[in-house]
Amino acid sequence: MDVSQTIRKRRAYRSLDPVAITDDLIKDLARHAQLAPSCSNNQPWRFVFVYDPRALKEMHAALSSGNVWAQASSMIIAVFSKEEDDCVIRDRVYHQFDVGLSVGFLVLRATELGLVAHPIAGFSPKKTREILGIPKEYKVITLIILGKHAETLSPVLSEKQSSDEKRRPKRKRLDRFVFLNRFTSQ
Ligand SMILES: Cc1cc2nc3c(=O)[nH]c(=O)nc-3n(C[C@H](O)[C@H](O)[C@H](O)COP(=O)(O)O)c2cc1C
């Protein structure tokens, strides 16, 4: 077992080379997402794996302008769920939390396979629903952009995106989010 190595290797790269999409790859990623824990084992996550070149091209219309780099992806995975499919305990609504866990598992598996799986929020859920036929009652949470990390920098990246490509964006120090025994405000 070396989960730690995979976690440290994962990056949200934006310079992408194509990768062959096979049924086996889709099943492999889906089987890892499937094993995520969820409230009452409700498994609220839903995924559309978009890899047909024509469908993929249609999905480019749903990307925000800052995500032009994602047009180089070989597969876009639309991730969606609805509140009724998972626990709601007073003000605690769990479907997006559980979907996040399954996406985490999928992303780590993709990383282990040598791929880039980059979740984005910069997209139009409305256009995504229209293009993919996803009913209105579902919330489209993210698109996962899949490809292989290219050695050469994508020419469409902004300055900030180019520098993020070379060096992992900084994380908060542990003492900003870890509390021992009791919460303390800084
Ligand atoms: C929910 C979510 C939304 C994100 N949205 C975008 C996005 O729209 N465009 C983008 O280029 N990166 C997006 N990212 C990637 C983050 O910018 C990236 O994970 C962060 O800068 C840390 O970099 P790292 O993952 O390489 O460590 C998103 C990541 C997450 C988890």
Helix 23-34 crosses helix 95-112 at what angle (to 10 degrees)? 130
CA–CA distances in Å: residue 124 to residues 49, 77, 103, 127, 174: 17, 14, 19, 5, 34
List ligand 1's pocket residues with C-beta within 6 A: 11-12, 14, 67, 119-122, 142, 164, 168-169
76 CA to centre of ligand 1 in angstroms? 15
Question: Quick one: pLDDT at residue 80?
Answer: 99
4 CA to centre of ligand 1 in angstroms? 20
Question: Quick one: pLDDT at residue 83?
Answer: 98
Q: Render 18-81 in DSSP notation, one character per residue.
A: -----HHHHHHHHHHHHTS--GGG----EEEEE-SHHHHHHHGGGB-GGGGGGGG-SEEEEEEE
18 CA to centre of ligand 1 in angstroms? 20
115 CA to centre of ligand 1 in angstroms? 16
Smallest CA separation from ligand 1 atom 13, residue: 120
* Tens-binned pLDDT, residue by residue, of the chain (186 aa): 899 999 999 999 999 999 999 999 999 999 999 999 999 999 999 999 999 999 999 999 999 999 999 999 999 999 999 999 999 999 999 999 999 999 999 999 999 999 999 999 999 999 999 999 999 999 999 999 999 999 999 999 999 999 999 999 999 999 999 999 999 986
Nearby residues of 133 by Cβ (< 8 Å), 6 or more positions away: none
